[in-house]
Amino acid sequence: MKITTIILAAGKGTRMCSDLPKVLHKIANRPLLRHVYDMSYQLNNNAIKIVYGHGANLVRKVLADIDVSWVEQKQQLGTGHAVQQVSDQISDSDIVLILYGDVPLLKLATVKGLLANVSDKTLALLTVKLKNPTGYGRIVRDSSGKVTKIVEEKDASITEKEIVEGNTGIMAVEGNKLKKWLNQLSNHNAQGEYYLTDIIEMAVADQITIITTQPESVDEVLGVNNRIQLSHLERVYQQEQAIMLMERGVTLMDPVRFDLRGTIVKLGIDIVCDVNVIIEGENSIGNNVIIGANTHIKNSIIGDNVEILANCIIENSVVGQGCKIGPYARLRPETVLAENVHIGNFVELKKSTVASFSKINHLSYIGDATVGAQVNIGAGTITCNYDGVNKFRTIIEDGAFIGSDTQLIAPVTVGKNATIGAGSTITRDSPENQLTLSRAKQMTLAGWKRPVKHD
Ligand code: UD1
Ligand code: CA
C-alpha cells in the first residue's frame, strides 16, 4: 500500500492576530505543521505533500529540513481547491490521506485505524461527537445510519445544525476516486469555496461506503484557530508528556508545572523534578538526578546522581555524574563538567571545562577556561577573557587554589597546585606549587583624623 499524505497548510489564521503564519505557531516549541509532519512521517511507504500559501517563504524556510514536496496554493479558494493543487501528483492506486497542518495532536494510531478502513469500495472518515459543534461541518446520516453527506455550518439547515457529529476533515480514500471527485467540485455554496467535504456525497452516489471512526480523545482532532485554542493544546500535550515521564520513573512534584519542549533521548530513573522545571531541545538525563524548582535545561547531558538546586539555567552543557549545581547557577554553551564538580550560587560558566572534584562555589565568572581537577576557585573570581575584540583562554591546572576576588587576565596559566592570594590581578603565568599574589601593601596612618566641617 502506497500512501500519499496531503497536509493542508495554506490558510492564514486571521484569528491568531499574528504576523506569523498559523502553522508556524508552536506547541512545545515545535511548529504546529511540524507536529503533523513528524506524526505522518512515521507511516511506511508514504509520500508527504504540503499545500502551503500564506507566509509561503517563511513556512518553507522554517521547515526547510523536512522531507516533503511543497505544493503552492496561491489563492485559498477552499479545502477542495487546496487538494486539487496536488491532483497531478496522485497516482490512481495511492491511498490519499488528508491531514490539516493546524491540527497538531492527531495520533498515529488513529491514522492507522483510519487507513485500515480504505478499500476500493470505501472512504474512511474521521468524525467526532462534540458538545458544541459550532463551526464544524456536520455528518448527515440516513435513517439506517449511513453517512450521506457533510454539510458545512454556513450551509446547514436548522435541523442539520442540531447534529453533534462533526467532520474532523481528516479522511483517506483511493487516489483514482479522489481525483475524479475533485474534478466535479463547484463553489456554489454559502462561502463560494470549493469544499473538499462535497466529495462525500459524490462517493455515496458512486456506491462507495463511508466508514467513520472516532479518535480516542477529542483533543486529537482539535484545530488551532486562536491563541486560546493554542494554549489549550499546549497544556494537553504537556500533560501527555508528564504522564509518559512519570510512567518511566520520573517524579514530578506537580505535573501541571512541568514543561518538556523537546525530548529526553536518554532518560534515567528516579529523577525528581520540582515545580516549574523546563526541559528544552534534545537532552539526556541520568539516574537519581534531582532538578530544583524553576530550573531550565536545554540541549544538555546530565549524568547520574547530579543534584541541581533551584533557579539554574543550563544550556548546551555536559554535567558529569555526582555534580552539584546551584542554586542560581548558569551554565552557558560548551560548558563541560567532569564528575563531582560543585558549582555554587551566582556562578556563570561559558565554554569552559572543569575536571573532577573542582569547586567554584560563589559569585564567579569562568569563561573560555580549562580548569583542572581538585581546583578550588574562591568567591568573586573572574576570568577576564575578552579584550573587546578577541577572546583568550585561562588555564588553571590541577590542585590550584584561587583566592577570592581574583581577576585572571587571559591568556594566562595558573600552574599545578599553585596558590593565588585573594584580591589578585593575575596578568602573567603563575608557577606551580607557589603562592602568587598581586596586592597593594596595606598601611595604616597613625594619628590620622577624619576631616570636620568648619562653619
Ligand atoms: C473544514 C471543513 C469542516 C470541518 C472543519 C474541521 C471543509 C469545506 N470544511 O472547515 O467540515 O468540520 O474543517 O476543522 O473542508 N486550507 C487550505 N487552503 C484553503 C482552505 C483551507 O490549505 O483554500 C487549510 C487551512 O489552512 C486549514 C484547513 O485547510 O488547515 C481547514 O481549513 P479551514 O478554513 O479551517 O476549514 P473550516 O472552514 O474550518
Ligand atoms: Ca478550521
Alpha-carbon distance of 187 to 333, in angstroms, equals 55
Q: Closest Cα partner for 368 from 336, 398, 324? A: 336
Q: What confidence score (pLDDT) does residue 92 get?
A: 97
Q: Are residues 103 and 144 in the same domain?
A: yes
Using CA positions, which residue lies closest to atom 12 of ligand 1?
136
Do 165 and 262 reside in the same domain of the chain?
Answer: no
Q: 16: CA distance to ligand 1 center in Å?
A: 15
216 and 231 share a domain? no
Give me the residues near ligand 2 (ion), CB cutoff below 5 Å.
223
Identify which ligand lies nearest to the alpha carbon of 71: 1
Query: Relative to the CA of 167, which ligand 1 atom is closest?
Result: 12
CA of 102 to the centre of ligand 1 (A): 9
| Domain annotation covers residue 445 | no
Report the alpha-carbon distance of residue 108 to residue 119 in Å, rounded. Answer: 19
Q: Closest ligand 1 atom to the C-alpha of 8?
A: 22
Instruction: Label residues 399-420 b or e (16+ Cβ within 10 Å = b).
Output: bbbbbbbbbbbbebbbbebbbb
pLDDT in tens, 218-229: 999 999 999 999
Confirm whether 446 is domain-assigned: no
93 within a domain of the structure (yes/no): yes
Q: Concatenated DSSP letters for 68-110?
A: -EEEE-SS---HHHHHHTTGGG--TTPEEEEEETT-TT--HHH
Helices (H), 118-226: 158-161, 175-183, 199-205
> Which residues are CB-neighbours of 369 under 8 A, at least 6 positions away?
351, 352, 353, 383, 385, 393, 394, 395, 396, 408, 410
71: domain CATH number is 3.90.550.10
- pLDDT at residue 127 above 90? yes
* Predicted confidence (pLDDT) per residue in 293-321, tens digit: 999 999 999 999 999 999 999 999 999 99
In a domain, 451, yes or no: no
**What residues form DSSP beta bridges with 128?**
166
167 and 303 part of one domain: no
Report the pocket of ligand 1 as residue ranges, CB < 6 Å.
8-11, 51, 73, 76-79, 81-82, 100-102, 136-137, 150, 152, 166-169, 195-197, 223
How much is the pLDDT for 455?
84
Nearest-angstrom CA–CA distance, 243 and 255 = 8
Q: Which of 221, 252, 285 is the last residue of a domain?
A: 221
User: Of 195, 221, 247, at which residue does a domain stop?
Assistant: 221
C-alpha cell at 436: 602568587
Tens-place pLDDT, residues 18-29: 999 999 999 999
Residue range 143-162: mean pLDDT, rounded: 98
Report CA(8)–ligand 1 centroid distance (Å): 8
Higher pLDDT, 1 or 290: 290
pLDDT for the residue numbered 315: 98
Atom number of ligand 1 nearest to Cα 22:
26
Ligand 1 atom 8: residue of nearest CA: 195
Asked if residue 176 belongs to a domain, the reply is yes
Does an H or E element contain 395, and which? strand 394-396
Tallying the residues shown for the chain, one arrives at 455
Domain total for the chain?
2
How many Cβ atoms from other residues are within 10 Å of residue 148's Cβ?
15
Flag whether 144 is in a domain: yes
Q: Which of 12-16, 88-92, 344-348 has the lowest mean pLDDT?
A: 12-16
Same domain membership, residue 183 and residue 44: yes
186 and 42, same structural domain?
Answer: yes
What CATH number does the domain containing 280 carry? Answer: 2.160.10.10
Atom 22 (ligand 1): residue with closest C-alpha? Answer: 10
pLDDT in tens, 33-89: 999 999 999 999 999 999 999 999 999 999 999 999 999 999 999 999 999 999 999
Residue 352 domain-assigned (yes or no): yes
Distances (CA, A) of 345 to 190, 237, 378: 64, 33, 12
Q: Which of 202, 221, 240 is the last residue of a domain?
A: 221
Indicate if 173 and 283 belong to the same structural domain.
no
Most ligand 1 atoms within 8 A of CB, residue of 79, 100, 103, 191 to mutate: 79
Q: 352 and 304, same structural domain?
A: yes
Based on the domain organization, do 199 and 111 belong to the same domain? yes
Residues 115 and 263 both lie in one domain: no
Answer for the pair 305, 319: CB distance below 8 angstroms, yes or no.
no
Specify the pTM.
0.94
Domain shared by 173 and 290, yes or no: no
Known active-site residue 35: no
What local confidence, expressed as pLDDT, does residue 11 receive?
Answer: 87
CA–CA gap between residue 360 and residue 378 (Å, rounded): 7
Do 156 and 118 touch, CB atoms closer than 8 A? Answer: no
Residues 6+ apart with CB under 8 A from 429: 412, 413, 414, 415
**Assigned domain for 153 exists:** yes
On whether both 266 and 305 belong to a single domain, the answer is yes
- Host domain of residue 390: 227-436
Distance 339 CA to ligand 1 centre (A): 54
The full 3-state SS of 223-283, as one line of letters, equals CCCCHHHHHHHHHHHHHHHHHHHHHCCEEECCHHHEEEEEEEEEECCCEEECCCEEEEEEE
**Ligand 2 geometric centre to CA of 225 (Å):** 6
Q: β-strands 290-291, 69-72: how paired?
A: unpaired
